[in-house]
Amino acid sequence: MGRMVASDIPELADLASAKGALAKLWRARQFGEAAALASKAVNLWPQDAEFRTQHAQSLLAAGALIEAEVAAREALLLEPESEDLWIVLADALIRRERQQESLDVLAEACRIRPDSLALQGRLGRQAQRMGEYQQAINAFTAASELQPAKEIWHLQILSALSAARRYTQAIKFAHEASLIFPESVTIQCRFAAWLRYDKRLVEAEQVARRALEIDPRASEAHATLFGILVAQRRNGEGLQMLQAACDLMPEDRSLWMLLGRHAMRRSVLDLAINAFERAVALANAPVSSWTALIEALSAKQRYEDAATEAGRALMLYSEDHSLAVLLAEARLKQGADIEALRMILAEALAQGPESILVNHPIIDALLKLGRADEAAAIMEEQQAVLDAPPKIQLRYAQALMAMGAMNQAETILTRLVAIDPDWVPGLVAFCDVLRNQKKIKDALAIFRKIEALGPDRSIMNDLRYRMFGTAE
């Protein structure tokens, strides 16, 4: 945060000028200066609660998370019912990855301010992220009672019920929501999806078609109906409907991607390639769209085209490792030797041919193609990995694990987690390498540590499955 010394802070003649100066700094996004000015204003006008709040908010906006937490806690002692201060405190904790503490703070805030929609929403989202599904459902229900005309809270409740695997309750709730919001395409689509899950396919199709009647250009309704038709094994009809939807809304990338993925599953590669080409031709195509196109071209054995598209994608996303791997894989399938491949990747990544950023994608591509001996030979050359950034070292350790070189991987990961004991990606890999070596007690200890850090639920589910064979 950019700090100001006392002489830099303008003289504050009166309350109105102070508030005007503060508003001006916020409009200019000069949050560090705003925090300094608000701090001075608090000292000049301690009776004005607004300045205490703006001091904490400015600190948070400036990224001074520790200071924002302190300021919010101090101000809450004087204003325990301030919604804005509770939000600052919770957001500061969340951004510092103090997940459980943030959840406790939000629960306390909602106990004091049960009428706060913003706090109930934050509590619900944070509880769901941490797997506290009943707490999430309660918070979203409270929010829906505060704002009954907003469908978003019903969607949030449905999401929490789904995450909690309370499917019967979710189906019943989706039906009730569809009656409350009969003109909501999103609600109708969610209801149709749950009917599909319950194998009530005729009813599901009727609801999906009703959603399309509400809005014929709703891409989610087209996607929902397509899924229901495929579930009824009406693949031809579904594909025809989806192609018509793409023609109707050629600017909708999600429909092209859905068409491409379905065509890939049915091995209709020319159709898949065409769909993915349309997806990447739209502005700001994400990595996932480029990846799908490159993989489809490779599946068609159009390796030159796959390499060309990978090169184009790397021009947009030069730091994306997966794209570099796809480029290396396509060139290897064409028969390129390692030295030639190094030069190709060096040019694409604007790195030297001996750089680990060049050689690591080659290692991964070789491993994907089952050429572990060649990958190992390159690894032996890359002793400089120990001086590389942690993310590069992590990928190197993961490559070693893929080769079965567990001892070497463990050495690297032990060092990484010693440097940063709370780095979740490093801990997850460390847990995996310990488990692979049957060091179950040590792996379990690392698993519990990761669990305590409160990472995303998907990370814990995947790790739990690898550890115990179940995501429960």
Residue ranges of domains in the chain: 1-97, 312-372, 402-472
Contact criterion met (CB below 8 Å) for 279 and 256: yes
> Which DSSP symbol is given to 266?
T
Quote the CA–CA distance of 72 and 276 in Å, as a whole number: 49
| Whether this model's pTM surpasses 0.85 | no
The confidence score (pLDDT) of residue 356 equals 78
The confidence score (pLDDT) of residue 151 equals 93
Per-residue pLDDT tens digits of the chain, which is 472 residues long: 444 444 445 556 677 877 888 788 888 888 888 888 888 887 778 877 888 888 899 989 988 899 999 999 999 998 999 999 999 999 999 888 888 899 999 999 999 999 999 999 999 999 998 889 999 999 999 999 999 999 999 999 999 999 888 999 999 999 999 999 999 999 999 999 999 999 999 999 999 999 999 999 999 999 999 999 999 999 999 999 999 999 999 999 999 999 999 999 999 999 999 999 999 999 999 999 999 999 999 999 999 999 999 999 999 998 898 999 999 999 999 999 999 999 999 999 988 888 878 888 998 899 889 887 788 778 767 655 566 678 778 877 887 887 788 988 899 999 999 999 999 999 999 999 999 999 999 999 999 999 888 888 788 888 998 888 875 5
**326 contact partners, CB below 8 Å, separation of at least 6:** 291, 294, 295, 298, 306, 310, 365
Quote the CA–CA distance of 232 and 227 in Å, as a whole number: 9
> Which three-class secondary structure string do you get for 176-218?
HHHHHCCCCHHHHHHHHHHHHHCCCHHHHHHHHHHHHHHCCCC
Say which CATH topology domain 402-472 has.
1.25.40
List the Cα angle 59/61/62 in 5-degree steps: 65
Quote the CA–CA distance of 125 and 171 in Å, as a whole number: 21
The confidence score (pLDDT) of residue 5 equals 42
Asked if domains 1-97 and 402-472 share a fold, the reply is yes
Length of the chain as a residue count: 472
Contact criterion met (CB below 8 Å) for 64 and 1: yes
In terms of Cα–Cα distance, which of 282, 360, 355, 284 is closest to 320?
360
The confidence score (pLDDT) of residue 3 equals 46
Q: Would you state the structure tokens that stand for residue 159, as one six-digit string?
A: 């999401």
**304 contact partners, CB below 8 Å, separation of at least 6:** 330, 334
In this structure, the number of other CB atoms found within 10 A of the CB of residue 148 comes to: 11
| Check whether domain 1-97 has CATH 3.90.1010.10, yes or no | no
